[in-house]
Each structure stands twice: as structure tokens, then as C-alpha cells.
Structure 1
Amino acid sequence: MEQGSAREGARPAYAPGVSPYASGNAARVPQDRVPEQARGRQGGEEQARGEHTHSEPPAPRAVQRHSVRGQILDALRAALVDGELVPGQVYSAPALGARFGVSATPVREAMQRLAVEGAVEVVPNRGFRVTERGPRELAELAEVRALIEVPVMLSLARTVPAHRWSVLRPLAEATVAAAAVGDRAAYAESDRAFHRAVLTLSGNEQLVTVADELHRRSQWPLVAGPVTRRAELLADAAEHTALLDALIAQDLTVVQALVREHFNGADR
């Protein structure tokens, strides 16, 4: 189950072939929604600091005054999963803030959170570099996730009644829907939501928190190309629904095979 906090609002539609993160397509916030101090600082802060980006930063959905930091964090996570924030590249908070139509402060706060999560690293006096991860690290994350989740899922399969598994059907179907359209950011979120819901049945909140953090870290960056990635997402989503069917049917043999296969492919 592949690899993202539920994101607020729907993802916007863009003209075919045009990246929502490309220069000139930035989603600007109406000036009456931008904090006054941000309007005064946007133009000159980047020049004053001498900072620049090494590639075009993402242009997110319009950011509302309410929970600006949370929405920016959400959009940056989506950009990481989509590969719009490129591994190894450095992005400055003022430049990203200009694209968001807000000051650098909430962007910097969101990036600091991503640094704690291991998605980026701080580059003094320059900004934040997107972490580069090789196949070995992704495989190690998958192995640790399997050590935690597989025994828990197998235990739950023996004790949780069928009707409790049935209520997870919409979550499994959400992964299928995201995979079908190749929406990697939506898939990452729905994938994690399904896993969280399964593990929540254990009643162990600490386990859910640790497993979810490992899952998120394994989701960025996605290194495969878009065609291969869509096929992998579809296969992964199919495993979700097949696993849920087996859990509802209380077929422990099939559950065990599917769970182990699922995590064997988690580092794809």
C-alpha cells in the first residue's frame, strides 16, 4: 500500500498539458485575503536576503487567511509527492511565499515541519533542500513498516468482526479512484488514511502515530515516472480492496498472503 493529513478543499483544474506549478500559472491570493504585512514584504524580501531558487517552486491553491500555515504545508506535501519539488534542489522561503501570495513566515514554518519529517533539510542562508532518497532507504522504510504493521494486521484479522471491516470500504475505494486518474498526491493521502483506519482498530494510538509517520516518509519523493507510477498505484489500490474483501470474509490464509505481498511491494 503506497504511500500523505487530510487536505482541505478540492485540487484545482488546469489546462491540459500545463503544470499547476509552472511559472506564470501561480494561483494568486486576492489581496484582500493576504495579511497586510505580507503584501508589504513580498516584493523585496527575497532581494533583501539575496535568496533564490534553483527551480520553479510550486504555485498552490488559493490560500485563505484561516490556517495559512496548514494549507501551505498541505500544498507543499502534495508538491513533494507529485515530484514538483525536485530532490536535491534548494527552495527559499521568500520565493515560495511570493508564489503563494503570502509572506515567507508561514512558508518557513511549514518547511521547518517538513524538515522534522525528513522531507527537506535546512541550508543556512539559502533555504531548504529537498531530501534525496535512494532505493536502499526506501526499502529500509518498507521493511520497518512491515515489521510493525504485518503482525498487527494479522492479529486484527483474527479478532475484528466482519461488520467493522465493512465500514472501511469507502477508504479502500478512495485509493482506487485516485489511482485511476493518476493523482499521486490524492493517492498518498487515501493510502495513509486506509492504513490508519486499519491500525486504529488495534486501539494503540502510539502505534498508529509511529506507523503513519513512517508511511509518510516512505511516500516522498516518488522516483518512478508517471506511466509506471500509475500502473503501480492501480496494482497497490487493488491490493487494498482484495485485502478488505478477505478480512470481511475472515479468510485468514488469503489475508496473510495479501498482507505480506503488500509490504513486499511497498518499496516499489
Structure 2
Amino acid sequence: MKQGTQGSAGTEGTGSGGTGTGRTGPARVRVPAQPGARDAGRERDRRRGDAGGGVRGEHTHGEPVLPAPRAAVRRSSVRGQVLAALRTALVTGDLRPGEVHSAPVLAERFGVSATPVREAMQQLALEGAVEVVPNRGFRVVERGARELAELAEVRALIEVPVMLRLARTVPAERWAALRPLAEATVRAASSGCRATYADSDRAFHGAVLALAGNEQLVRIAEDLHRRAQWPLVGAAPGARGRAELVADAHEHTALLDALIAGDLDVVRSLVGEHFTGAA
């Protein structure tokens, strides 16, 4: 729980492209697609003026190679699945700050057309995770400790008062119903997988805030929380170790115990420390 620029397809113009870090990697990994999905996607791209699945002006050689996504991209809801896979890659550090990725190359690895990948990257640009690089694609935004601290401060300003108000008004049985989510964060932390923990962490926080009955609050808080989970520039993938994740997760169960017991002093102390040490 501890803790761009907007672009459009039109910004990918003509010209020569580039790469992000110049790192070399293993052979390109492809994700099985539904039968005919890749051919159909390429045909759509050709009708849009693309050649062989590529986009004029987007350099497709020498880019950093991403590991295979956790699951094959299915034909239904392709954009959403690609977006989820890219968000996971951000959390794990497979999409590293400063790297440049073009939609055609990512599409080839996912086994889909470039269009849903480009749409997913544009959504990430709106969220501030990437920025458009004309003629090349999208660069993963480089974030420093100051931005992380600012996100933690904003999250605390939003979430702490809500949690304290809920602690006074929500009955114990409703807090007890959140026990499975709190325990799920501990299991996720014990796995050592940062992406799995990030998902369970957001799920627990979202469930707590949902008790306030304010959908806009939940949506804004989730966006801030997601951004706070991206790694800092220069941080090694998985920089937060398993022990740190487990300690973080146990704060969820301790907070839930205090909420069920109605101990406002402990709740106040826990939520304050939780966001002060957010990373």
C-alpha cells in the first residue's frame, strides 16, 4: 500500500526512428493470438496506410525486448488486455524509464495489430506513464523520488480523512467482510511478485474507500495509487524486496483489526505511518 503528456496517433509521423536504451535482449517473444487475428489486424493496418504491420516513421529495430505477457491476448477486449499487460510491465520494470517503444514492434510481440497497442499507449500517455516521441513511438516517463513523495502526500490528503471518517461510522461486520482482501495482499506479498501485490494492494484500498459511497473518490484515488506504484528512474526491476512487501501487507491486516475493534487512535496512527512511508 506504500507507495506525460497526452498524445494521439497523429503524432507518429514520418521520418527515421530510434530506440530507448540500446539494450540488447533475447529473441522477440510472441504471444499466441486467436486464429486469423494477426492477419486481420495487418489488413486493417494496410488499409490505414501501414506496411507489413509497421507505421511510417516508427523505427522498429533495436528496441528493448519485453518478456511475454502473463496471458495470451485474446481477441475480445484486445485493447484492455494490452493495456493491462503494459501496466504490469510498468510495475515490474519491464518497461523501464527512458525507453522508447513503437506500437508496431509491441504489436508484433503481442500478436495483434498496431491499433489496439497504440490506443493502449495513448491511454498510458493520458495517465502520465509514457510520453509521445514524434516519429518514434512512446517513451516511458522518468520519475524521481520527489514525484513519488508528492503522490504519497496527495494520497494521504485524500484517503486518510476518509478512512478516519469511515472508522467512526462503518459497523464492525462491514470491516470484517474485507478480511479476505487484506489477507490476499499478504499472500501476494509473500509471492514476491510486485505486479501481483500491486493489484491486490489497489483492490484493498479501493474496497475501503468504496464504503464512502463516492465513485469519483474511488476512481481518483485508484489513479493516484497506480501512478505511485511505477518504479523510479534508475531503480532495478523488483527493487522492493519480498520482506518489504510483506511488512507493507501486514499493515493492511493491522489496520483492519483496528477498524473492526473501533480503536480510532490506532487507526489514526496506522494510516498516518502508512502514507508517510509510502513508496
Q: What TM-score range do you get, normalising by the shorter chain? A: 0.7 to 0.9
Partner of 1:54: 63
**1:233-244 matches, cutoff 5 A:** 233-244=245-256
2:40 equivalent to 1:37: yes
Distance 1:234-1:33 versus aligned 2 partners, 3 A rule: farther
Q: CA deviation at 1:131?
A: 0.7
2-structure distance, mates of 1:262, 1:121? 31
Aligned counterpart for 1:105 among listed residues 106, 115, 135: 115
Q: CA deviation at 1:43?
A: 8.3
Of stretches 35-44 and 153-162 in structure 1, the one that deviates more from structure 2 is 35-44
Identify unmatched segments of 5+ residues in structure 2.
4-24
Partner of 1:252: 264
CA contact (8 A) 1:57 1:91 kept: no
CA contact (8 A) 1:57 1:95 kept: no
Partner of 2:132: 122
Partner of 1:86: 96
1-structure distance, mates of 2:267, 2:210? 18
2:140 equivalent to 1:153: no
User: Residue deviations 1:180-199, cap 9 Å, x none?
Assistant: 01111111111111111111
**TM-score, with length taken from structure 1:** 0.86
CA contact (8 A) 2:83 2:120 kept: yes
> What RMSD over aligned residues (CA atoms) do the two structures have, in Å?
2.1
User: Residue deviations 1:74-118, cap 9 Å, x none?
Assistant: 000000000000100000000000000111110000000000011
Provide the secondary structure at the position in 1 that maps to 2:35.
helix
What letter corresponds to residue 147 of structure 1 in structure 2? L
2-structure distance, mates of 1:225, 1:72? 20
What letter corresponds to residue 155 of structure 1 in structure 2? R
1-structure distance, mates of 2:167, 2:236? 33
Aligned length: 249
What letter corresponds to residue 94 of structure 1 in structure 2? P
1-structure distance, mates of 2:188, 2:211? 24
Q: CA deviation at 1:154?
A: 0.8
What letter corresponds to residue 249 of structure 1 in structure 2? A
What letter corresponds to residue 243 of structure 1 in structure 2? L
Structure with more helix by fraction = 1
Q: CA deviation at 1:34?
A: 1.6
Partner of 2:2: 2
Q: CA deviation at 1:211?
A: 1.1
Q: CA deviation at 1:208?
A: 1.3
2-structure distance, mates of 1:170, 1:25? 39
Of stretches 212-221 and 72-81 in structure 1, the one that deviates more from structure 2 is 212-221
CA contact (8 A) 2:38 2:111 kept: no
**TM-score, with length taken from structure 2:** 0.83
CA contact (8 A) 1:54 1:91 kept: yes
Distance 1:236-1:33 versus aligned 2 partners, 3 A rule: farther
1-structure distance, mates of 2:271, 2:197? 19
Distance 1:212-1:234 versus aligned 2 partners, 3 A rule: same
CA contact (8 A) 1:43 1:98 kept: no
2:87 equivalent to 1:77: yes
User: Residue deviations 1:231-252, cap 9 Å, x none?
Assistant: 2211110100110011111111
